[in-house]
Structure 1
């Protein structure tokens, strides 16, 4: 039987404290009050380890489950297999006992708990080996990571329970009713505001810095239809000398990674592997070919007038005499160190383009859209009206982020999932709360329609 969220949060408490992932010997976790003092977050070493542990929890849901929930309900990719949990997502027919939904929800709350542990413990640490600047950085990272997770929870499930203190017993999270989506986004904004004041103004790309907080805030404001604010924060990121669009297009996802286009990504290594490539590569290349670009997307990416250099997202091989095309964003099958892409500069240009278009700043919006198109080797847009321009930006995002966690959420936030995908029941525009968590906590309400 799968474990409930609140029991797994206990595992996360121990894992984040030790800076380790949850493992089989932690199935009966000890509440934090009973942990030996040397295993709590009490000094520089344990604080640093706990921060790495929290990144590891975020990495866990971004490795597979979250990207799948972002691209598979859209129309760029189909599931090329028989596993029901993937077919449900592909066909927009999710159930509350879907394994990927359950895993993603649990992983996300484990990450929240890791951040909560840091936020609670760091102010009380007095260790000469932990200078104030580093303490502020770790605290800022915790606020940023909690903001990222709650933003993803909010856009995936709507309003969710806002757990803002460490879960130290299996009773802590119970009877915590769901907040609204607006309240969830309010918490994201509060965390990002705090993170921006604490984080360094640096160019680190696999740990949070000020620009990462600003980039996520630009995305948050776009989702909330606060277009002036979205434009402001995207402009701050675009204006930083630390970031630029790289050419050719494929360069942003080419080793050694951490390109100047990356605002925030989650890094992997051969010993801490990202196996996402395995889901995209055909069996002849050692993969399972679970995710397959649909013919229309292959045609778009290969069209010089639409995809341009983004055709590099595709690769081909001959199998049994036939040419087979597959997704190539995750391609490091030997090294297994493909990163998970969270925030890229290209998105900031398209956020600003959309925000400007919705404020009737059409020439400026066209310039931003054309910046992304020019990088891809595609000619300038032919859109002239606001309506044409918004559709052009939507279609540009479809191609630019073809295999990233983007398309489904774009169509939901703009209210176009019914028109484009045929998902006309808006109750299905959010994911179901996992069944096990509903059983574990009677105060937790299911989303309507499930």
Structure 2
């Protein structure tokens, strides 16, 4: 059995993870990451492992906990020092969860890199050209998704496009700028588009999933025309629609990409909201917005008071509930923002998209008229629509509104510090500005 080591020394513990059966596919019992790719079955297993890594690690409870608290509308019930570091925007490079996120992202990227590196050479006649292209396209998509999130969390990070076989493979690689990381994600999405089928599958990547993630990325890049075009490419397909009344999106036309779980592969995010030891609750401000019939409307199901007067987040009703990677509602709001901000604004179209989201939630139409009011209305709609999903921190930072909304004037704090353990493992890796070592 050929061993595959994961990026720097700190990440070697990730080898203890194995991937289990994923979604609606034939069962594989705890397939090891160390399995090489040599035929159709092992190639498919490797891709499922990359999806599992994306779902179980990058969308684990810890990642959501951090980003939701940073967004200001969700509070921790633990009052731990690390929670205070998050809400006070005073992260330190030695905080453990930063190392976990870093390791998770690069573990996922490494899995994708193995697929990209090895699948083209597989000669199994059962691995047809179309299936080979699909698996490669999915790997490029997964890598793009991971680099996009790495870029918006840590900003300036190393880019690795080949598998890690020994730790020394990745030592001494300089960081790329956030712009370069986003450019790599965009290049991977463009490559994935050429390989993936134009089918509708809600738990795996297709051309439509590529269009959706690329629309999001183009919004971050201020490429508004391209963001609108990509959103159009998804919303022109009637398989992606808003469903009234508002409900959680899994398995419906409201879902573009979802991460599914089962009794043998639980959604760890459930524990954030629903158990006796729950870690998070919506703050009063977002609870009140969600329960205002003129603002939240039917989205009030996302924050429900219990008998003790506490607010219970309703994003994951069970421990096998899906996590939402991309929802159709986001495509409407991406297109609305792009239409309002592009060089030749389409304010009528922007308002139409905004009101489509409001109508689906049984909320009165917005009547704002000028560009600034429409853009703010879209920001506020995103706040409510994605109240318990990890969007608001990124939305406020990417739009330059952190000083006004978070009273956060230090741009160095808009990205997180590189984990201290990574710099100890590779002294050539420079810390992000403002965080020392």
Give distance in 2, aligned partners of 1:86 and 1:137.
41
- Equivalent of 1:326 in 297, 312, 322: 312
Q: Is the 8 A contact 2:202 2:255 kept in 1?
A: yes
Q: Is 1:47 the equivalent of 2:43?
A: yes
* Equivalenced residues, count: 419
Give distance in 2, aligned partners of 1:383 and 1:156.
33
- Equivalent of 2:360 in 362, 375, 391: 375
Give distance in 1, aligned partners of 2:359 and 2:36.
51
Give distance in 2, aligned partners of 1:277 and 1:47.
31
Tell me which residue corresponds to 1:306.
295
What are the residue-to-residue correspondences of 1:36-185 with 2, within 5 Å? 39-59=35-55, 60-185=57-182
Give distance in 2, aligned partners of 1:143 and 1:183.
16
| 1:321-355 Cα shifts (integer Å, max 9, x gaps) | x32221111121xxx21112110110000000000
Gaps of 5+ in 2: 23-31
- Equivalent of 1:274 in 267, 272, 288: 267
Give distance in 2, aligned partners of 1:261 and 1:85.
35
Bigger drift between 240-249 and 372-381 goes to 240-249
Superposition deviation, residue 369 in structure 1: 0.5
SS of the aligned residue for 1:250 comes to: coil
SS of the aligned residue for 1:249 comes to: coil
Q: TM-score, normalised by structure 1?
A: 0.89
Give distance in 2, aligned partners of 1:12 and 1:49.
18
| 1:270-289 Cα shifts (integer Å, max 9, x gaps) | 110013222212xxxx3323
RMSD, aligned α-carbons: 2.1
Tell me which residue corresponds to 2:285.
296
Q: Is 1:364 the equivalent of 2:349?
A: yes
Gaps of 5+ in 1: 22-29
Superposition deviation, residue 382 in structure 1: 2.1
Give distance in 1, aligned partners of 2:52 and 2:90.
30
Give distance in 1, aligned partners of 2:20 and 2:364.
48
Q: Is 1:259 the equivalent of 2:252?
A: yes
Q: Is the 8 A contact 1:261 1:345 kept in 2?
A: yes
| 1:376-411 Cα shifts (integer Å, max 9, x gaps) | 111111210000000000000000000101000000
Give distance in 1, aligned partners of 2:279 and 2:14.
30
Give distance in 2, aligned partners of 1:164 and 1:410.
28
Change in CA separation of 1:387 and 1:105 when aligned onto 2, cut-off 3 Å: same
Give distance in 2, aligned partners of 1:127 and 1:44.
6
Q: Is the 8 A contact 1:10 1:167 kept in 2?
A: no
Change in CA separation of 1:77 and 1:15 when aligned onto 2, cut-off 3 Å: closer
Q: Is the 8 A contact 1:313 1:328 kept in 2?
A: yes
Change in CA separation of 1:14 and 1:74 when aligned onto 2, cut-off 3 Å: closer
Superposition deviation, residue 118 in structure 1: 0.2
Give distance in 2, aligned partners of 1:173 and 1:231.
37
Tell me which residue corresponds to 1:27.
none
Q: Is the 8 A contact 1:144 1:213 kept in 2?
A: yes
Superposition deviation, residue 49 in structure 1: 1.0
Change in CA separation of 1:5 and 1:68 when aligned onto 2, cut-off 3 Å: farther
Superposition deviation, residue 8 in structure 1: 5.8
Give distance in 2, aligned partners of 1:181 and 1:100.
21
Tell me which residue corresponds to 2:230.
233
Give distance in 1, aligned partners of 2:86 and 2:178.
22
Give distance in 2, aligned partners of 1:239 and 1:137.
22
Tell me which residue corresponds to 1:351.
334
Q: Is 1:405 the equivalent of 2:394?
A: no
Q: Is the 8 A contact 1:265 1:341 kept in 2?
A: yes
Q: Is the 8 A contact 1:137 1:198 kept in 2?
A: yes
Superposition deviation, residue 84 in structure 1: 2.4
